[in-house]
A = this chain, B = another copy of it.
Amino acid sequence: MKLSQRGEYALRALLVMGMNHGPGVIRIKDIAQQQNIPRRFLEQILNDLKSAGFVQSKRGVAGGYRLQRGPGEISLADIIRHLEGPLAPVGCVSVNYYQRCSCPDEGKCAIRSVMQEVRDAIVGVLEGVSVAHLCDRVRDLQGPLENPLDYVI
Contacts of A36 in B (CB 8 A): 102
Q: How far is the CA of A117 from the CA of B125 in the complex (A)?
A: 7
- By the criterion CB–CB under 8 Å, are B122 and A118 in contact? yes
Residues of chain B contacted by A2 (CB below 8 angstroms): 1-2, 89
Contact A110 B122 (CB under 8 A): no
- Using a CB–CB cutoff of 8 Å, the interface residues on chain A facing chain B are 1-3, 8, 11-12, 15, 36, 76, 89-90, 101-105, 107-111, 113-115, 117-118, 121-122, 124-126, 129, 134-135, 137-138, 141-142, 152-153
Can you show 5 pairs from A to B with CB atoms below 8 A apart?
A: A1-B2, A3-B89, A103-B153, A121-B124, A122-B122
